Every structure is written in structure tokens, then in C-alpha cells.
Amino acid sequence: MRDLVASASRDVTIGGAELAARALEAGLVDECQVFLAPVVVGSGKRSLPEGVFARLELLDQRGFESGFAYLRYGVKR
């Protein structure tokens, strides 16, 4: 993972809970962008696996008429 990020000449987008968790644990994530949907679901896949911890700082937020919300967080070191 570190070699991939080191060789990238620009921002890298990480998708998937397990890969994102490993990148957070390795200290490779600078920010997280989240879209929230106005729907409550009683089950499903978690955004991140259990045990992943990161301190976040809200950098930007935006609401849409549809009820969706966009949140952008910086990862505190």
C-alpha cells in the first residue's frame, strides 16, 4: 500500500471497507469524503470494519434538496 501511494503523482481514491481500513491504520489517509442518504437500513455492510479508529475534523459540509448530505473530514494525526 505504501509503495502504491508513494508512486502516485496525484491523489488516490480508496474504495472498499477493508482497503480503506488498512490505509487508515497505516496513516496514509489525509481526508474522508462521505455522502449520507436519508434512508435508515437495519442491516448491511459496515462502512469500516470493527476496531478501526481515526480522529476526524470536519472540513466541509453540504446538504441537498433530496436530503442527501456531503461531509468532508480531515484525518487528525
Kindly report the length of the chain.
77
| Cα separation, 31 vs 19, whole angstroms | 15
Enumerate domains of the chain plus CATH numbers: 2-75 (3.40.430.10)
| Cα separation, 64 vs 55, whole angstroms | 26
pTM of the model: 0.77
Q: What is the pLDDT along the chain (77 residues), one digit of tens a residue?
A: 667 667 766 777 888 888 889 989 888 899 999 999 999 888 877 788 888 899 999 999 999 999 999 999 999 98
3-state class of 20 per DSSP?
helix
| Cα separation, 21 vs 27, whole angstroms | 10
Kindly tell me the burial class for residue 27, based on how many C-beta atoms sit within 10 Å of its own C-beta (0-12, 13-18, 19 or more): exposed
